[in-house]
Structure 1
Amino acid sequence: MTFKTYEINVDLVNETSTPATVRFSQNDQNSAKLLINIMNKGGELDLSQATSVRMSFKKSDGTRVFQDDCQPVNVLKGKYQIVLKTQTLAAIGNVYAQIHITENNRVIDTQQFGFVVKESLSSDDAIESTNEFGVIQKVIEAGEKLEGKDIDGIIAAGAKADTAINQIEILSKDLSKQDIKTQMLQHGPNVVNATLASPLNVEVQGRTLANLLGRTTLDPSKYYLFIPNKGTTKIPV
C-alpha cells in the first residue's frame, strides 16, 4: 500500500523544527502519513508506560480535529505513526498539530509543529471543513469516566428498570379501572315516586349513590330510586 509519508521529530521541551517540505494535498484520502519520533530534550523517549498517544490539529480556518489513532512503531524509542483523516486535510493552508501523551494519571503535551495542505485540482467538489474537537473530546471524557465499569451490567439494569416501569404503569391502570364502580341509571322527573324514565343516562361513580342529590347523607325513608322494568328501590347509603 502506497502512502505519502513524512518523518519528523517532535520534542516535549525543545521547539520543533518542521521541514518546510512537509506538504499534503487536500485530496489525500487515507494516504497521508506522519512518522513521528517523540523526543525529550533531543533524546529518545521511552513511552512503554503510556496508555494513549493522541493528536489534535488546528486548521487554517480555525476548526479543530482530534485523532486518537496514533499507532506505535517502537514505544521504547517513542516512535509512532498516524494516517491523517480527510477532515484533518479539509482546509487549505497551514495546519498546526500537537501530541498528547497519557501515562498513568498524567497528560503530557509536546511542542507544536506544522505542515501545509495544498489545494487539489482533481475535483471541483470542496470538502467542508468542520470542527470535531469538542464532540470527540466529550466522547473520550465519557469513556474515561466509564473505565472499569460493568457496561453490560449497566445496560442490563437499565433494560430491567424500563420493564419494571412499564409493568407498574400497566398495573396502575388496571387498579384504577377496578376502583371505579359504575352504575347506569335511568331516572324520571324526580327521584321520589318517579313513574316515567327520561332518556338521560346518568353515570354514578363511587361506593354510594348519595351524590345523586348532591348531598352527603340521605334519609332512606324518604327517597327511593326508580329502575325501569323493576320498580322502585331504596337508595343504599
Structure 2
Amino acid sequence: MRKYLFAALGLIGLSMAGAAQAAPTLSFRVYDDNNLVGGLSTSTTTGSLSTSGQTTNFGVSAGAFGTPFVDSPSLLAQTTTISTGDNFTGTHTIRVEFTQTDLTSASAGGLLAALASTFTANFLVNGQDVSNVTLTNYVDNNNGAFARTTQIATQTYTSGPTNASPEILANVSLTNALFSETVVITATFTGRGAGLQSSAQIVRVPEPVSLALMGTALLGFGFVRRARKQG
C-alpha cells in the first residue's frame, strides 16, 4: 500500500514539475468584423513570432517577442501593420491579439507585481480613413490563452500621424505560479488604401525592495573589500 502511495505522489510531483517548467508559448490571432480568421492563427515557443496574410477586408503583418527571446515576463507586440486594399468599401473593424502563456510569477502568493505598458500608433497612409485604434494590455492570473481578465493599461488614438503613450504603470496580484499576458489591438477603417502601424509592450518594473537589497549587498561587499585591504 505504501509503495502505491509513494508512486502516486511521485506522479503528481512530476506532473506539477512539468506544468511549472512548461515553455512559455507566444500566440497570435486575427478577427475581421468579429470573425476569427483561422488561417492567420499561429504560435511558437521560441519567443519570436512573425506572420502576415490577408483577411476579407485587410492585409496584416505582425511581429512580436516574448520569453525566452526577451526577459520574462516581457511581451513586445512591436510591429503590427494593417492596411486596406482597393476593393475595400464601407466600415470594418479588425482586432489582432497576442498572448503569452506559462509565464512564471516571481510574486506568487498574493504579492503585487509592477508591470509597465507603452503604446504607439502611426497613421501611415490616408489616416483620415482610420477612425480609431485602441491598444489594451491584460494579465490573467489563471494562465489562460488570450484571456482578458485584468486590464493593466489601455490607450485610444483617433488621429495621426504618430501617437505615443508615456510609460503606464500598474500593480497586479499574481497569486498563482503561472500567469498569462495578452495584447489586443483594435482598429476601425472607413476607406480604402489606408494604412496603420502600431505597437504595444508589457515589461516588469524592478521592485524597489529588490533594488534596495541589491544595493545593500554591494555596499557590504565594498566594506569587506576595504577591510581586507586594511588588514
Q: Give the TM-score normalised by the residue count of structure 2.
A: 0.28
Larger of the two Rg values belongs to structure = 1
Instruction: Report the structure, 1 or 2, having the larger strand content.
Output: 2
Which one scores higher on RCO, CA 8 angstroms, separation ≥ 6?
2
